[in-house]
């Protein structure tokens, strides 16, 4: 059921975090702040009242999550009770896929309607978004401080820094920490498109404006209305477009290609470049007046070699980001490998480091990244005595995010699917384990009803005959 519902929701384009355990799910309520919680009434057979617990938790976070209960026929009464306690709706098993989809849509439009409490959400998003930015060095702390200061303004920000230093990440952080966060964030790489296409991409065009313009087309500025547009590699923007961009910044209006009537847009502009624009200005390929317009607030991203002290943190962050499919645990790294990584200068900055870790994880065969798994250049500087080295253990982020790094959405989902279920020892066999669980469960039901088998059967949602059969099975296994 969990898998089916998960796939269904994903196919509808939702981000889904499946849990088969109520504690992990409750934890995710805090870290993910979902819009919607879909829960079975009977989640964890060792706990009462299961789904009701989840409901109460989901309703108590801010903003409260909308809850849909899934229930068996025998428990409809409880489901109705759940609705009184704040569930949005319930679905009785078995249900039709279309009914489920409809129910989800209604619930989500409801939750959208009640989420006008933008400021609360902003605080939460803020927490979430900043967690993806790693760095305790002074250099990175300065960047974070700057983001906090300017995020919620409409100022144009120019993000400067070498390739791979995290400029786009910063642009996103600015957007998601501004009041524009619910409107689109639209990134565009100015060097990726030829001049004529870039113009119509940015500003749109009228039907017939040029060969191939068979319909009217909205430009990205219009798409981003109310939100943020991120102009990456602004230094490569062709001169003609620079003047048009300048006009947009000054007049707050755009004109589609082939159109005489300008349209007003409300867009915040962020730009990034990995080259010094001053040089382009001297060469005459970048407009000085545009430069001053864009450079209202500059944010300088340090090169990784300038804040090497963050390197181990980043390595751990990237190791945690991908769990070893063999055991569901984060990858680890040897101390020697980490040392070698720290000695490198990283001209490609954080991106290069991230790629090296990704490669290492893919190549290593026992979940530990060793020197041999690093890119070839590291092999040359390593000595043979570096093998079989001490391992730096990378712990999965604990369920309670007490340290500064809280899980990213992806990590949380991965951790949830692979979460250790709390078994201290390996279990003899699945069959034995299930029998033990079933036995304990039946005994609990019987204890609750004072040994009354009929009442226990009702409690469990099975027929009395089934209960008798189950009791016989657990008492004298075949």
List contacts with ligand ATP (CB under 6 A): 132-135, 161, 163-169, 274, 317, 350-351, 354
Out of 89, 139, 154, 168, the only residue in the binding site for Mg ion (CB under 5 A) is 168
Contact of residue 350 among ligand ATP, Mg ion, none (CB under 5-8 Å per partner type)? ligand ATP
CB of 306 to Mg ion, least distance (A): 18
Cα–Cα dist 103/111, whole Å = 12
CA distance 319 to 449: 50
Instruction: Answer with the entry of ligand ATP, Mg ion, none that 415 interacts with (C-beta below 5 to 8 A by kind).
Output: none
Gap between the terminal Cα atoms of the chain: 28
- The CB-of-165 to ligand ATP minimum distance in angstroms stands at 4
8 Å CB contact between 201 and 232:
no
Measured from the CB atom, the residue of 147 and 392 that comes closer to ligand ATP is 147
Q: What angle do CA 351, 169, 412 make, to 5 degrees?
A: 90
Tell me whether residue 34 or residue 135 sits nearer to ligand ATP (CB atom). 135
Bridge partners (DSSP) of residue 71 are 92
Q: How many CB atoms lie within 10 A of CB 341?
A: 24
Which among Mg ion, ligand ATP, none contacts residue 408 (Cβ within 5 to 8 A by kind)?
A: none
Compute φ and ψ for 74, nearest 5 degrees: -70, -15
Q: SS3 string of 172-232? A: HHHHHCCCCCCCCEEEEECCCCCHHHHHHHHHEECCCCCCCCCCCEECHHHHCCCCEEEEE
34 binds, among Mg ion, ligand ATP, none (CB under 5 to 8 A by kind): none
In the list ligand ATP, Mg ion, none, the entry touching 166 (Cβ below 5 to 8 angstroms by class) is ligand ATP
In the list Mg ion, ligand ATP, none, the entry touching 161 (Cβ below 5 to 8 angstroms by class) is ligand ATP
The order of strands in the sheet holding 66-71 is 36-40, 66-71, 89-92
Beta strands in 365-405 (DSSP E): 368-369, 391-392
* Helices and strands per DSSP (H, E), number in the chain: 21, 15
**Residue 133 site contact among ligand ATP, Mg ion, none (CB < 5 to 8 Å, cut-off depends on kind):** ligand ATP
Q: How many amino acids of this chain bind Mg ion (CB under 5 A)?
A: 1
**Nearer of residues 354 and 438 to ligand ATP, judged by Cβ:** 354
Q: In angstroms, give the least distance from the CB of 143 to ligand ATP.
A: 8
Tokens representing 329 are 């645990």
Task: From 89-97, 114-122, 162-170, 375-383, give the range in contact with Mg ion by CB under 5 A.
Answer: 162-170
Q: Of 111 and 132, which CB lies nearer to ligand ATP in the complex structure?
A: 132
Q: Based on CB atoms, which residue is closest to ligand ATP, 236 or 439?
A: 236
From Mg ion, ligand ATP, none, interface partner of 135 (C-beta below 5 to 8 A by class): ligand ATP
Find out whether 161 and 273 touch, Cβ atoms under 8 Å. Answer: no
Parallel, antiparallel, or unpaired for β 157-160 and 268-273?
parallel
**What is the smallest separation between the CB atom of 232 and ligand ATP, expressed in angstroms?**
6
Contact between residue 18 and residue 2 where contact means Cβ atoms under 8 Å apart: yes
Please report where in the chains the tokens 């619930």 appear, as a residue: 107
The residue among 164 and 219 lying less far from ligand ATP, judged by its C-beta, is 164
Least distance to ligand ATP, CB of residue 348, Å? 8
Closer to ligand ATP at the Cβ: 103 or 353? 353
Centroid of chain to Cα 47: 30
275 makes contact with Mg ion (CB under 5 A): no
What tokens appear for 121 in the block?
A: 């959400």
Closest chain position to ligand ATP (CB):
166
Of 34 and 321, nearer to ligand ATP (C-beta) is 321
Q: How far is the CB of 196 from ligand ATP (least distance, A)?
A: 24
Using CB atoms within 10 A of its CB, is residue 370 exposed (0-12), middle (13-18) or buried (19+)? buried
Residue 274 CB, nearest distance to ligand ATP (Å)? Answer: 5
Residue 386 and residue 336 in contact, taking contact as beta carbons nearer than 8 Å: yes
> Tokens representing 207?
């039907």
Question: Rounded to an integer, what distance in angstroms lies between the CA atom of residue 432 and that of residue 73?
Answer: 29
Rounded to 5 degrees, φ, ψ at 455 are: -65, -40
| Cβ nearer to ligand ATP, comparing 234 with 350 | 350
Give the nearer residue to Mg ion in terms of CB position, either 78 or 273.
Answer: 273
**Which of the residues 415 through 474 are near Mg ion (CB under 5 A)?**
none
Task: Check if the beta carbon of residue 13 is closer than 8 Å to that of residue 105.
Answer: no
Least gap, CB of 295 to ligand ATP (angstroms): 17
Q: Where along the sequence are the contacts to Mg ion (CB under 5 A)? A: 168
């Amino acid at each position: 059921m969990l898998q089916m519902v998960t796939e269904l929701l994903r196919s509808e384009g939702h981000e889904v975090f499946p849990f088969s355990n109520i504690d992990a799910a409750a934890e995710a309520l805090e870290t993910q702040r979902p819009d919607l919680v879909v829960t079975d009434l009977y989640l964890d057979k060792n706990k009462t009242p299961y789904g009701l617990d989840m409901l109460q938790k989901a309703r108590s976070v801010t903003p409260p999550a909308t809850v849909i209960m899934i229930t068996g026929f025998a428990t409809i009464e409880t489901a109705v009770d759940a609705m009184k306690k704040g569930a949005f709706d319930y679905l009785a098993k078995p249900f039709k896929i279309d009914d489920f989809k409809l129910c989800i849509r209604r619930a989500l439009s409801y939750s959208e309607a009640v989420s006008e409490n933008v400021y609360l959400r902003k605080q939460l998003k803020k927490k979430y978004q900043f967690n993806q930015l790693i760095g305790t060095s002074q250099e990175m702390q300065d960047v974070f401080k700057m983001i906090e200061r300017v995020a919620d303004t409409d100022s144009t920000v120019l993000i400067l820094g070498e390739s791979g230093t995290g400029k786009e990440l910063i642009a996103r952080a600015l957007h998601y920490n501004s009041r524009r966060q619910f409107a689109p964030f639209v990134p565009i790489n100015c060097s990726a498109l030829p001049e004529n296409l870039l113009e119509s991409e940015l500003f749109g065009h009228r039907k017939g404006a040029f060969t191939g313009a068979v319909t009217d087309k909205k430009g990205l500025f219009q798409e981003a209305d109310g939100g943020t547009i991120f102009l990456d590699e602004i230094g490569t923007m062709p001169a003609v477009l620079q003047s048009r961009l300048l006009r947009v910044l000054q007049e707050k209006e755009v004109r589609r290609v082939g159109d005489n009537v300008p349209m007003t847009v409300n867009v915040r502009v962020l730009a990034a470049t990995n080259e010094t624009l001053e040089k382009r200005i001297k060469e005459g390929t970048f407009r000085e007046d545009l430069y001053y317009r864009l450079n209202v607030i500059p944010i300088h991203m340090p090169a990784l070699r300038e804040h090497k002290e963050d390197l181990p943190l980043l390595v751990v962050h990237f190791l945690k980001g991908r769990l070893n499919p063999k055991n569901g645990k984060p990858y680890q790294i040897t101390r020697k490998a980490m040392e070698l990584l720290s000695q490198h200068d990283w001209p490609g900055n954080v991106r290069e480091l991230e790629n090296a870790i990704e490669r290492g994880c893919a190549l290593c065969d026992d979940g530990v990244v060793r020197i041999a798994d690093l890119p070839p250049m590291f092999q040359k500087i390593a000595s043979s005595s570096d093998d079989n080295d001490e391992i730096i253990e990378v712990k999965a982020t604990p369920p309670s995010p007490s340290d500064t790094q809280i899980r990213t959405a992806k990590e949380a989902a991965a951790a949830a699917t692979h979460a250790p279920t709390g078994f201290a020892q390996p279990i003899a066999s699945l069959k034995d384990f299930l029998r033990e669980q079933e036995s304990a469960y039946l005994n609990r039901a019987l204890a609750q009803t004072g040994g009354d088998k009929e009442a226990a059967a009702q409690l469990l949602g099975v027929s009395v005959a089934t209960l008798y059969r189950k009791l016989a099975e657990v008492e004298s296994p075949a």
